[in-house]
Amino acid sequence: MAANSATPKFDLPLIDISSYGQGQEDRLVEDLMAAGKWPGFFYLVNHEISHDEIDKIINFAQSYFKNTSSKEKMKWKNSSGDTGYTDLRDEKLSGLGNGDLKESYYLSEENLKKNNIPAEFVAEKQFLDLFVTKCKRVANTVLHGLSVGLGLQPDFLSSKHSGERNRLRLIHYPPVEAVSDPDHPSLDIRAGQHSDYGSLTMLFVSPKDKGGLQVLIDNTWFDVPIIPYTIIFNIGDALEFWTAGMFRSTVHRVLIPRDDSENRDRYSIPFFVQPDTDVILSPIGSGGDISKFERILKEKYPGGMPTTAGEHLQSRIRTTYS
């Protein structure tokens, strides 16, 4: 495989969450507001999810995808774009090409409560419950900070996120030779360019990860460097809608490996923070850029903006799995 061509790296803002609740909330609010406006991605440090817990969730994903047979995985096939297993090329995030070169498992809190999960997940249910609970707490702290920054009540945003639509996702990107389309290699990608559907995404990757995530900033693709044990946060469509374009739901993708160091099994764990199904997606407060917002709506919704978070989610899922 050819050597990695020089791709510019983008140094995302680094935000320390430990000041929250210690009388230094103003700094956190200021940092969150700045990152939400630009570039819409940031690293979060000094959060409550331990190094051991991040290692454990990555190792759990690796064990599941490596040791579970295709037949067993397919018993939990995701046919609705909601929860369960997705196979290679099931998704087409950009709407182009042959489908994304990844397999995954979507997990909800309801799945965990009802034990509606594979045996491998049942065996680690206590840990998975704890991991989801901690993700929600960290996300709520960020939502509180953003609410304050927007001049709203601290619980305004968190009150619209009960967790019913949140999803923990385990993702496996296999080495490219194993699954690449030799007849149309230019159409292959691990995750096509897209913005995320919900309010926030929290991404966990192995500290040994060699990269692949890129963000689109001012029409240029930049690599996102890995800082071990940080959480990579990004703003989703819902917050972009609510703030009339003040916050940025940045387009991103995961590239096909460019050199031998990247061409290995890769695992990542996003936690998607979604508004509740019936929440109305209309601009709140002030400070948005209406002309920019209208351009966003035209690009994403030529037929008009969806009324609720649930409608938006279903619209995006239909496109992804069409």
> Rounded to an integer, what distance in angstroms lies between the CA atom of residue 243 and that of residue 151?
12
Bigger pLDDT: 122 vs 25: 122
Structure confidence at residue 4 (pLDDT): 47
Q: Which residue from 135, 130, 139, 128 is spatially nearest to 59, judged by alpha carbons?
A: 128
Assessment of whether the complete model's pTM goes beyond 0.85: yes
**DSSP, res 22:** T
**DSSP, res 257:** P
Q: Does the domain made of 14-320 have the CATH classification 3.40.50.1370? A: no
Q: Which tens digit of pLDDT belongs to each residue from 137-165?
A: 999 999 999 999 999 999 999 999 999 99
> Rounded to an integer, what distance in angstroms lies between the CA atom of residue 307 and that of residue 256?
36
**Residue 8: count of CB within 10 angstroms of its CB:** 10
> Rounded to an integer, what distance in angstroms lies between the CA atom of residue 18 and that of residue 127?
23
Residue 287: pLDDT band (50, 70, 90) is low
Q: Which tens digit of pLDDT belongs to each residue from 182-196?
A: 566 566 788 888 899
Q: Which of 52-61, 214-223, 273-282, 312-321 has the highest mean pLDDT?
A: 52-61
> Rounded to an integer, what distance in angstroms lies between the CA atom of residue 268 and that of residue 251?
18
> Six-digit token pair at 174?
């296999």
Q: Is the backbone of residue 186 left (phi > 0), alpha (psi -120 to 50) or beta?
A: alpha
**% of the chain beyond a pLDDT of 90:** 63
Q: Are the C-beta atoms of residues 190 and 262 closer than 8 Å to each other?
A: no
Find the range with the poorest average confidence among 149-158, 173-182, 247-256. 173-182
Q: List Cβ neighbours of 318 (8 Å cut-off, separation of 6 or more).
A: 81
**Residue 107: count of CB within 10 angstroms of its CB:** 23
Q: Which tens digit of pLDDT belongs to each residue from 193-238?
A: 889 999 999 999 999 998 889 999 999 999 999 999 999 999 999 9
Q: Which residue from 285, 283, 287, 282 is spatially nearest to 307, judged by alpha carbons?
A: 282
> Six-digit token pair at 21?
């609740």
Domain positions in the chain are 14-320
Q: Are the C-beta atoms of residues 180 and 190 closer than 8 Å to each other?
A: no
**DSSP, res 186:** G
> Rounded to an integer, what distance in angstroms lies between the CA atom of residue 252 and that of residue 123?
34
SS3 292: helix
